């Protein structure tokens, strides 16, 4: 603490170089926090969905191949399955919007039983169930588009050659870690329009099948039964728990954990070189000054400590800007506003931000170690006669 003022004066000596060093550390750690937070969010979502007693059965050939609607009733007949519903993606556009949002055709009678975490007032739920052209929308979607109960909500078909003229009958609330911008409509409405306006082409498809199990049901056993039931049919299925279904989107990118770890390691190594180079240049300019300090009684250990402290302080400021700045930014900014619900939420956990700050301290210590040792070993005579 005695020499803190002197250390901070040295930090400010070449302010441009200090700002550039802090900026390089801050920006790099900011990007690193984004990557690490992706892993944390994926784990959070999976943990939230565990125990939901919900399964999703999809075609073994992928999302692009819908399951036939008869499969919903076949699933209901399996012991342990309490409710089953189609979940058919419509993919239409609202007004002049180009970015699609989640639009699913469901069985209105079982909507609240399967998606029980979408909180809908009882009178609104009944209004939705009673109106074949009714729909349920998320509270964020309603707020952003200025929609309220009773408003028309037309969707122009892009995948299907039909349009849906819907009416908002209910607005659901949900947790911040869930999608508040989805829309749910009657699957039967789309089915009837395909039969009447498209000669039945593309009709009879459930998309995927959403299932709610009994509390004491064995999820793994029911998954096996459903897949075995369809194994030799024209529509073999792949059934999984809801958290496994969500996790597979991250798996599409490959081994994300290994990739992010490798990139993070590369970032740390590059920052050590950047910060070490900046510190080496600063000490080269102060060779004579360090020699004078040693001549008036400063020990090698004290010189070592002051130089290391200087480097750690610069790196720590970069860590505060990058790691904590990233945390505070995404606590304020709702990213789903800019992704049309494609990324329903994003946050930086405190443990991730603290890890980033710790990384900055390690970067400062390691990058400053060699220049500090060189300064501590500098001879007085050698330093005094050196001209920079």
pLDDT in tens, 222-279: 999 999 988 888 889 999 888 777 777 666 555 667 777 788 788 888 888 888 788 7
Lowest mean pLDDT segment, chosen from 198-202, 209-213, 217-221: 198-202
Structure tokens at 66: 């819908």
Higher per-residue confidence, 340 vs 269: 269
For 188, residues 6+ apart whose C-beta sits below 8 A from its C-beta are 132
pLDDT at 355 over 80: yes
CA-CA distance, 279 to 363, in Å (whole number)?
12
Average pLDDT of the residues in 42-54: 71
pLDDT at 130 over 60: yes
- What does the pLDDT read at residue 374? 77
Average pLDDT of the residues in 338-355: 78
- What does the pLDDT read at residue 299? 80
- What does the pLDDT read at residue 342? 62
Query: If you write DSSP's letter for every residue of 301-345 in order, what string do you get?
Result: HHHHHHHHHHHHHHHHHHHIIIIIHHHHHHHH--THHHHTTSS--
pLDDT at 316 over 80: yes
The DSSP code for 88 is E
pLDDT at 167 over 70: yes
User: Mean pLDDT, the chain, as a whole number?
Assistant: 84
- What does the pLDDT read at residue 226? 92
pLDDT at 170 over 80: yes
Average pLDDT of the residues in 118-125: 94
376: buried, middle or exposed (CB in 10 Å: 19+, 13-18, 0-12)? buried
For 218, residues 6+ apart whose C-beta sits below 8 A from its C-beta are 80
Tens-digit pLDDT profile for residues 171-199: 999 887 777 889 999 999 999 999 998 88
pLDDT at 122 over 90: yes
Share of the chain above pLDDT 70, in %: 88
Quick one: angle between helices 287-295 and 300-319, nearest 10? 140
Confidence of residue 339 (pLDDT cuts 50, 70, 90): low
- What does the pLDDT read at residue 308? 84
Strand partners, 210: 56, 85
- What does the pLDDT read at residue 281? 76
Confidence of residue 346 (pLDDT cuts 50, 70, 90): confident
Q: How far is CA 287 from the centre of its chain?
A: 48
Average pLDDT of the residues in 148-160: 92
Q: What three-state secondary structure class fits 173?
A: strand
CB 29 within 8 A of CB 359: yes
Average pLDDT of the residues in 328-343: 74
Higher per-residue confidence, 201 vs 166: 166
- What does the pLDDT read at residue 47? 65
């Amino acid at each position: 603490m005695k020499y803190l003022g002197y250390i901070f004066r040295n930090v400010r000596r070449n302010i441009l170089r200090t700002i550039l060093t802090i900026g390089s550390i801050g920006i790099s750690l900011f990007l690193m926090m984004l990557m690490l937070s992706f892993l944390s969010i994926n784990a959070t979502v999976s943990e939230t969905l565990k125990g939901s007693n919900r399964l999703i059965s999809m075609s073994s050939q992928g999302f692009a191949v819908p399951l036939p609607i008869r499969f919903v009733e076949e699933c209901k007949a399996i012991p342990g399955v309490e409710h089953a519903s189609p979940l058919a993606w419509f993919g239409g556009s609202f007004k002049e919007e180009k970015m699609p949002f989640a639009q699913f055709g469901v069985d209105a009678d079982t909507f609240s039983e399967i998606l029980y975490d979408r909180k809908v007032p009882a009178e609104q739920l009944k209004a939705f169930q009673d109106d074949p052209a009714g729909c349920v929308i998320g509270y964020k979607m309603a707020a952003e588009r200025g929609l309220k109960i009773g408003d028309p909500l037309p969707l122009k078909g892009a995948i299907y050659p039909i349009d849906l003229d819907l009416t908002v009958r209910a607005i659901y609330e949900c947790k911040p870690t869930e999608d508040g911008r989805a829309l749910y409509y009657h699957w039967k409405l789309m089915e009837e329009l395909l039969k009447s306006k498209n000669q039945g082409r593309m009709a009879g498809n459930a998309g995927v099948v959403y299932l709610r199990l009994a509390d004491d049901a064995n999820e793994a056993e029911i998954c096996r039964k459903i897949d075995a039931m369809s194994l030799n049919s024209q529509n073999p299925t792949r059934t999984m728990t809801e958290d496994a279904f969500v996790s597979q989107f991250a798996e599409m990118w490959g081994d994300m954990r290994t990739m992010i770890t490798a990139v993070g390691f590369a970032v740390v190594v590059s920052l050590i070189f950047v910060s070490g180079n900046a510190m080496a240049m600063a000490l080269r300019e102060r060779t004579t000054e360090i020699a004078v300090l040693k001549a008036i009684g400063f020990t090698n250990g004290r010189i070592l400590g002051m130089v290391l402290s200087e480097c750690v302080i610069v790196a720590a400021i970069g860590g505060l800007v990058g790691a904590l700045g990233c945390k505070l930014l995404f606590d304020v900014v709702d990213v789903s506003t800019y992704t049309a619900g494609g990324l329903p939420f994003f946050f930086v956990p405190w443990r991730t931000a603290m890890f980033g700050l710790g990384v900055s301290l390690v970067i400062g210590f390691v990058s400053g170690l060699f220049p500090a040792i060189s300064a501590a070993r500098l001879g007085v005579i050698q330093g005094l006669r050196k001209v920079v």
